[in-house]
Amino acid sequence: MTEAPSFSRPTIRRLSGHVIDLIAAGEVIERPAAALKELVENAIDAGATRIVVALRAGGTDRIDVTDNGCGMSPVELELAVERHCTSKLQDERLVQIRTLGFRGEALPSIGASARLSITSRTPEADTAWCIRVDGGVITPPQPASGPVGTRIVVTDLFFATPARRKFLKSARVESGHAESVMRRLALSAPHCAMRVLLDDKVLFDLPEQSPIARAASVLDTTPDTLIPLDEQRGAVRMSGFACGPARTRATGSGQFILVNNRPVTDPMLRTAIRVAYRPVIERGRFPVMALHLTVPLERLDVNVHPAKTELRFADEAEIRSLVIGGLGRALGHGSNGGGGIHASFGARSSIVYPPRPAERQDSAPLLSATQGRLSAGYEPVSVPSLSTDAGLRSGFAETDPAFAPAARAPQQPDALDPAFPLGAAIAQVFDTYILALAPDGDLVLVDQHAAHERLTHERLREQYASGGTLRSQALLLPEVVDLPRREADALMARAADLSKLGIDLESFGPGSVLLRSVPALLGAQDIQGLLKDVADELASDPDLDAANTGSFSHHLDAILARMACHGSIRAGRRLKPEEMDALLREMELTPRANTCSHGRPTWLKLTRRELERLFGRVK
């Protein structure tokens, strides 16, 4: 038999200031990127218009931040390295927080675990002053040389806390985190020029820029590829810039979220972005954007975590609805608003946005003449042979049956109507791709099956949305679905919402529900598995509307996409010229027509410069 361990009554004692600083440092400064974030935020709050950052070994060996802000006096330098001393709180209620920093913990935390040097000079001073802190030991300020502003140098990070240092990752990983931090901060302060060096190599050097130019720089694209965002609901505004669905990444690293100019990584906002993009991008891909929310200060709590990257909103449902709805509307344009991609070298590196067309009343005759074929999935047509001029026939059609020119002479760019950004069809390639000439002279390639699949999908989606509810189908024998009690309660709490989706439930004792009807649209699908997924999501987020749960909406959308796929024109089907033009016109008018139901692009654009690069005319 094991003996009980001896017990001595512990006594409560006051921790030393040094130990308190080390504990605080562990919360605030978890890695070099966290220290860098605090220092650059301080520079921005100090009114800097130019910040230079130099790192060694990802910041583990050295972090050097220089700014031209307002600077600090010797007295302020001594206060700056004491805990809970700050110039940024104007009241005691922690409500009207307008600055990035406010806790007064960063500098003392860094000084407690590293070697810290701060050299600063105010505009009215005739000299700079320098204060040093080594592992919590403070050396009083001394006169020094330096321009107006502040320079902070941190070396040997975590030398005083070796347990933390040994858990750091490689210099390459830490450098990646530092770069991510700097890009987010650069996005939050476009008025401030920023230069970042990593091991003496320039990572980026951004001048003072407009918001759209800074967003393009941070997102690594060009301003003309960005979709502007501007939505307002009450006192909350959503602005910023988003890339179209053709520009995605394998991770969420391309999502930059600002709330009142504060870079955040809020999980609720990331979920809202994912829900908004779900219908237009491939599953497993992540959108690229710079999203900015402006929220009244009294409706936002930023004092949730020492890192200040998590927030608490007074009305999460309102924020979520604004983000999902606003992004959905921005993405819900036809191909007139952009989203096609450059086709050069097969790259997806740059998105093309044609000019937004004017009102298109003149397209009505063309659409009405061929709408029947579009709506019915292009019922079979007989195309024995397309008449072309002799030159085209001898040059292409007879030598390569994969190329079928349209039954008319190609129109010149200046003869095309700029109201139709996808241009006029001039040929069909491999009986699968429509080749069109855009008003600006660029070539447009359209995947006819992918494009019409989206058109059919949107038509089915509109039919569902216009009805308000899904028609239900009663089960011949109601099914009992056993669930964990928490999940069963979550389902019954939203039974009215589920009924609108065609799912009728009754309570069937603790941990069970009785399923009486299912959406007729789902047919013989695994409704029990679907119901369990919906229950799991509702239980994990009680405020989430049943219709917006990932399991239900994705499952339903997958059914609609499958129906659209089978009801669309197929690859290998030859089309008449008027059918090709009608497809282009409807793409310009249909929401989300830039991608198919599976998130793949429906059209590509090849510019003159890209053609010249392919032929070696330009570099």
pLDDT one-digit tens code per residue, 367-403? 333 334 443 333 333 333 333 333 333 333 334 445 5
Highest mean pLDDT among 136-140, 263-267, 313-317, 544-548: 136-140
pLDDT at 108: 85
**Residue 412 C-beta-side C-alpha neighbours within 13 Å:** 2
C-alpha 63/C-alpha 57 separation (Å) is 9
Residues in the chain: 619
pLDDT at 64 over 60: yes
C-alpha 270/C-alpha 266 separation (Å) is 6
More confident of the two residues 83 and 212: 212
C-alpha 182/C-alpha 177 separation (Å) is 9
pLDDT at 93 over 80: no
pLDDT at 215 over 70: yes
pLDDT at 591: 78
Q: Name beta bridge partners: 604.
A: 341, 445
- Based on C-alpha coordinates, what's the Rg of the chain? 30
C-alpha 417/C-alpha 424 separation (Å) is 9
- What is the per-residue DSSP string for 22-61? HHHHHHH-SSHHHHHHHHHHHHHHTT-SEEEEEEEGGGTS
C-alpha 522/C-alpha 500 separation (Å) is 14
Residue type, 563: M
C-alpha 461/C-alpha 453 separation (Å) is 12
C-alpha 416/C-alpha 411 separation (Å) is 7
Q: What is the mean pLDDT of residues 550-555?
A: 54
Farthest-apart Cα atoms in the chain, separation = 103
H-run or E-run covering 277: helix 267-277
pLDDT grade for 496, boundaries at 50, 70 and 90: confident
pLDDT at 560: 66
pLDDT at 569: 80
Tokens of 97: 């927080």
Helical H segments across 63-170, by residue range: 74-80, 106-113, 162-165
C-alpha 440/C-alpha 416 separation (Å) is 9
pLDDT at 600: 79
Residue owning tokens 């951004």: 206
Closest CA to 238 of 228, 225, 224: 228
Domains of the chain: 17-206 (3.30.565.10), 211-331 (3.30.230.10), 355-456+571-614 (3.30.1540.20), 461-566 (3.30.1370.100)
Q: What is the mean pLDDT of residues 24-44?
A: 82
pLDDT at 386: 31
Helical H segments across 84-160, by residue range: 106-113
Cβ neighbour number for residue 517 with a 10 Å cutoff: 17
